[in-house]
Amino acid sequence: MRDEDLVTASTWAANGWVDGDGIDGATLRRLVRAWPRRAAVTTKAEVVEQANDYDPLLPDYPMEIVPFAEHPRFLAASPEQRQKVLTGMWIGYNERVIATEQLIAEPAFELIMHGVFPGSDSPLVRQGIQQSIVDESFHTYMHMLAISRTRELRGVRERPAQPELVTYRRLRQVLATMPERWERDVAVLVWGAVAETCINALLALMARDRTIQPMHSLITTLHLRDETAHGSIVIEVVRELYARMNAEQRRTLVRCLPLALDAFAEQDLTALRLELVTAGVRGADEIVGDLRAMSAGNRLVRDFSGAQRMVEQLGIAEAVDFDFPERPEWSPGVGLAQ
């Protein structure tokens, strides 16, 4: 890739994106000021502590997003087994959300707070990122409660050891190929930015569903509201950091973006098989094998509109080797939550 293919700091300044002292922070300032009246931790903390309506007949996970819902082997399982699979998928969903916060999002935020990248010392940037870190800790708490309550209500005494988060596995593989610390820092930043601009699509699949337990929809709705704001914050912050990166850092960021997007979209078939086996569903290997043979079966996230907006605002759409699909009608996108 040629240096002239990347947006330079002077181009940013010419477009009014960056001034002589730092960012043009109107959008970021608006998001930061909205935090006290938007964040779940400041407005809904007591709600997640309260017992919500529980109907044992309602599923824990939406059947419409189960990739093997129509597979003959799954349909042949008993109602009790299918219910156990859905409960396991809901618990696993929460476990993966927590792992994403702790292993992907928070490390990226910490790099910014530690001043690793030029431009991250801006007070406005630091305030927005610190608010996001507080939010992420509360999200972990919410999903921890969801796991605990579900296990208690459904009588789940034991859980099988879960595979390492696939998104994190892919990040570690990329980091292992990078000898320089600055390269690894950029990769961690990219993975965190992709997580924060794409996770709302994953949350929306649960938040919009009215067939599942109300508690599950509530928790994902609160998380979704925060992540919609985080996506906008991250776009503004990454735009500021990218404007100050040197050519090598920018090339690394562009190279990592499609890798991170593919990693975040990947459906972990190992985790799916584990839930089927744990519930006693016969033919788990056949079900997973059929999913593996289908390209769509390996995709967990199909909405990348938030990440696409980030790529476009960075001015690198032509350089990023990723085929962004059309945005689904149900997608919440990444809005300027206030």
Is residue 14's pLDDT more than 50? no
Q: What's the whole-number average pLDDT of the chain?
A: 86
Distant-in-sequence, close-in-space partners of 21: CB < 8 Å, separation ≥ 6: none
pLDDT recorded at residue 124: 92
pLDDT above 70 covers what percent of the chain? 86
For the chain, what are the domain ranges?
26-314
- pLDDT per position as a tens digit, 226-260: 988 898 999 999 999 999 999 999 999 999 999 99
Residues 297 and 267 sit within 8 Å (Cβ to Cβ): yes
pLDDT band at 204 (very low <50, low <70, confident <90, very high): confident
Q: What is the pLDDT of residue 6?
A: 41
What is residue 130's predicted lDDT score, i.e. its pLDDT? 96
Quick one: pLDDT at residue 51? Answer: 58
Residue 12: band (very low, low, confident or very high) from pLDDT cuts 50, 70, 90:
very low
Q: 């605990």: which residue's tokens?
A: 148
7-11, 134-138, 139-143, 271-275, range with the lowest pLDDT: 7-11
Confidence grade of residue 24 (pLDDT, cut at 50, 70, 90):
low
Q: Of residues 63 and 14, which shows the higher confidence score?
A: 63
Express each pLDDT in 132-185 by its tens digit: 999 999 999 999 999 999 999 999 999 999 999 999 999 999 999 999 999 999
17: pLDDT strictly greater than 80: no
Could you tell me which of 259, 241, 258 has the C-alpha nearest to residue 250? 241
CATH topology of domain 26-314: Ribonucleotide Reductase, subunit A (1.10.620)
Closest alpha carbon to 125 in 248, 237, 234:
237
The dihedral through the CA atoms of 178, 181, 182, 188 has a sign that is positive
Q: Give the list of residues 6+ apart from residue 58 with CB closer than 8 angstroms, or none.
A: 211, 212, 213
Q: How far apart, in whole angstroms, are the C-alpha atoms of residue 208 and residue 163? A: 28
- Tokens 């776009």 map to which residue? 235
The predicted pLDDT at position 294 comes to: 81
Determine contact, residues 6/250, Cβ cutoff 8 Å.
Answer: yes
What residues pair up with 18 in beta bridges, in sequence order? Answer: 23
